[in-house]
Amino acid sequence: MSEKLISIGKIVAPHGVRGDVRVLPLTDFPDRFEKLAKVRLDDGRCFSVTGMKYHKKFILLKFRGIESMNDAEPLRGKLIQVTTDELVVLPEGHYYHFQIIGLRVYNEAAEYLGDVTDILETGSNDVYVAEQKGQRPILIPALKKVVREIDIPGGKMIVRLPEWETE
């Protein structure tokens, strides 16, 4: 069985004539690029990283063997990926989106409400979207008073829905 890969950046373009690539970070931890010795792309290729610097909202990376803009151009659009073991460890009670998507959602009376199919980022707090076939989606604010328990190994979430969602 292959390992689950998570995208942490997207190569958006070559940068300059020496083969650097401009990377849009897809992570809340862009400083992780400072420690990368190797990268894995979504097409399976791996490269040693020989240089890194910040440039506006991007990360500039230099790969061994990529020496010109022409060498870098085919990398445009490729995703930089890590295994779940290589992810930054989050504080207790915090989760990556991929860990939440797919959880089965139950209320405190153990009634099945649906599976988390999406996460809406609202600015103040995330909102989980739980869907069950034939039912309207349920919006679950990602707040401690609503989300009572998240059991990643068990694949479930226990919630106390606000009154407006139970009507």
Question: What confidence tier does 158 reach under pLDDT thresholds 50, 70, 90?
Answer: very high
Q: Same structural domain for residues 58 and 128?
A: no
74 and 105 part of one domain: no
The pLDDT of residue 162: 75
What's the mean pLDDT in 26-37?
90
Band (pLDDT 50/70/90 cuts) for residue 1 is very low
Determine contact, residues 24/9, Cβ cutoff 8 Å: yes
- Averaged pLDDT score across all residues of the chain: 92
User: Does the pLDDT at position 68 exceed 70?
Assistant: yes
Same domain, 39 and 61: yes
Same structural domain for residues 159 and 101?
A: yes
pLDDT of residue 167: 52
Residue 71 pLDDT: 97
CA end-to-end distance (rounded Å), the chain = 44
Band of pLDDT at residue 87, cut at 50, 70 and 90: confident
> In which band, very low, low, confident or very high, does the pLDDT at 53 lie, cut at 50, 70 and 90?
very high
Residues 75 and 105 in one domain: no
The three-state DSSP-derived secondary structure of 42-68 is CCCCEEEEEEEEEECCEEEEEECCCCC
With a cut of 80, say whether residue 3 has pLDDT above it.
no
8 Å CB contact between 116 and 157:
yes
Give the pLDDT confidence of 116-136 residue by residue, as tens digits: 999 999 888 999 999 999 999
Residue 164: predicted pLDDT: 63
pLDDT confidence tier of residue 166, bands split at 50, 70 and 90: low
Residue 49 has pLDDT above 90, yes or no: yes
User: By residue range, what is the domain housing residue 158?
Assistant: 97-166
Say what the pLDDT of residue 163 is.
73
Is the same domain home to 9 and 65?
yes
- Asked if residue 51 has pLDDT above 50, the reply is yes
| Domain end among 86, 119, 153 | 86
Same domain, yes or no: 106 and 140: yes
